[in-house]
């Protein structure tokens, strides 16, 4: 069952426009920059429609509603208490990525508008990254409570096609159950910001050094067969499985609905991909399981 209500939040410049367009293409009625205090009225109006005419709703809320952001979490709790299928999604990106995006587009950060037109102009013309960084840090503090209660997507290294795919997968997952995302990545490109747990599998034998296996990935049978034959692979995957089996129930009991487990190797092509696929099979049935391959998805 898809989430009937999506509340999209996140850092300015993290790709919320792409995500909202994706939701609109998926059949959601989308409202950008809705003041949180108006969300109950929107839902009330929607509920007055005949049952067969009620729509999927997606609402974007961010730092532009700074004075009323504190109202979002109680609203989410009330929606869940009412039995609504709601999915909060938070888009994030590294500070350096956000600075680069604002510099490339030469758009002012929404929170900098409050400093006056002159300050904005000087920041744009002089490329005052320090002022922009400080504003981004202030925004992080403002939206952190929302981040802690949402499904987080790190868009720092994502292409728009990847982001669209990941958003679609999230809203299609059953929101009332714990969702576990297993994500492969390359350490050389950095650890994902959205990871709750990070496991390093670089100690496993590397198929990259076998000529026939180098152009393939951990999803391909020859690579999977090679890694399956290595005793270390099975031992490491079993240890990760045991750790998660022990602690995921505690997270679920603590009202966590979404957990990202990042598995990293050097290039994000062979070992981490294989481990993610193996863990997906082991946790099927225990939770809603999604997989991501950061260095491959969207290619």
Q: How far apart are CA 180 and CA 167, in angstroms?
A: 15
3-state SS record for 137-164: HHHHHHHHHHHHCCEEEECCCCCHHHHH
Q: Are strands 151-154 and 86-92 parallel, antiparallel or unpaired?
A: parallel
Torsion-angle region of 116 (φ positive above 0: left; ψ -120 to 50: alpha; else: beta): left
Using pLDDT thresholds of 50, 70 and 90, give the confidence band for residue 31: very high
Give the pLDDT confidence score for residue 2 in this predicted structure.
Answer: 63
| 63 marked as binding residue | yes
* pLDDT above 90 for 82: no
User: Greatest CA separation found in the chain?
Assistant: 64
Give the pLDDT confidence score for residue 8 in this predicted structure.
Answer: 96
In three-state secondary structure terms, 244 is: helix
Using pLDDT thresholds of 50, 70 and 90, give the confidence band for residue 113: low
In three-state secondary structure terms, 296 is: coil
| 16 marked as binding residue | yes
| 14 marked as binding residue | yes
| 64 marked as binding residue | yes
Which domains, from first to last, does the chain contain? 5-172 (3.40.50.300), 179-298 (no CATH)
164-217 pLDDT, tens per residue? 999 999 888 777 778 999 999 999 999 999 999 999 999 999 999 999 999 999
Say if residues 36 and 42 touch (Cβ distance below 8 Å). Answer: no
Share of the chain above pLDDT 90, in %: 61
| 65 marked as binding residue | yes
| 11 marked as binding residue | yes
For the chain, give the number of residues.
Answer: 299
Vertex 175 angle, CA 171 and 179, to 5°: 90
| 190 marked as binding residue | no
Give the pLDDT confidence score for residue 124 in this predicted structure.
Answer: 45
* pLDDT above 90 for 131: no
The two tokens of residue 296 are: 């491959």
* pLDDT above 90 for 123: no
Q: How far apart are CA 140 and CA 152, in angstroms?
A: 13
| 17 marked as binding residue | yes
* pLDDT above 70 for 93: yes
Share of the chain above pLDDT 70, in %: 93
The two tokens of residue 98 are: 């956000």
């Amino acid at each position: 069952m898809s989430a009937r209500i999506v509340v999209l939040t996140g850092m300015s410049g993290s790709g919320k426009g792409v995500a909202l367009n994706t939701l609109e293409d998926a059949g959601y009625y989308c409202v950008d920059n809705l003041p949180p205090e108006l969300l109950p009225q929107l839902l009330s109006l929607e509920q007055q429609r005949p049952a067969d005419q009620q729509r999927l709703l997606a609402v974007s809320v961010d730092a532009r509603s700074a004075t009323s952001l504190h109202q979002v979490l109680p609203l989410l709790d009330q929606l869940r208490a009412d039995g609504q299928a709601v999915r909060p999604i938070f888009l994030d990106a590294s500070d350096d990525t956000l600075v680069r995006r604002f510099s490339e587009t030469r758009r002012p950060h929404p929170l900098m508008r409050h400093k006056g037109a002159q300050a904005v102009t000087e920041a744009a013309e002089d490329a005052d990254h320090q002022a922009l960084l400080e504003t981004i840090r202030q925004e992080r503090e403002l939206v952190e409570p929302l981040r802690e209660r949402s499904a987080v997507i790190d868009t720092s290294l994502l292409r728009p096609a990847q982001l669209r795919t990941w958003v679609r997968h999230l809203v299609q997952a059953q929101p009332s159950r714990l969702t576990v995302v297993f994500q492969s990545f390359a350490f050389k490109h950095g650890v994902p910001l959205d990871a709750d747990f990070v496991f390093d599998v670089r100690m496993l034998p590397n198929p990259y050094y076998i000529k026939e296996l180098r152009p393939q990935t951990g999803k391909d049978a020859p690579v999977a067969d090679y890694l399956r034959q290595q005793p270390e692979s099975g031992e490491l995957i079993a240890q990760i499985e045991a750790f998660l089996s022990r602690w995921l129930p505690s997270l679920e009991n603590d009202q966590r609905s979404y957990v990202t487990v990042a598995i990293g190797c050097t290039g994000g092509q062979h070992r981490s991909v294989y481990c993610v696929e193996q863990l997906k099979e082991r946790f099927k049935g225990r939770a809603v399981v999604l997989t991501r391959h950061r260095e491959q998805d969207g290619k």
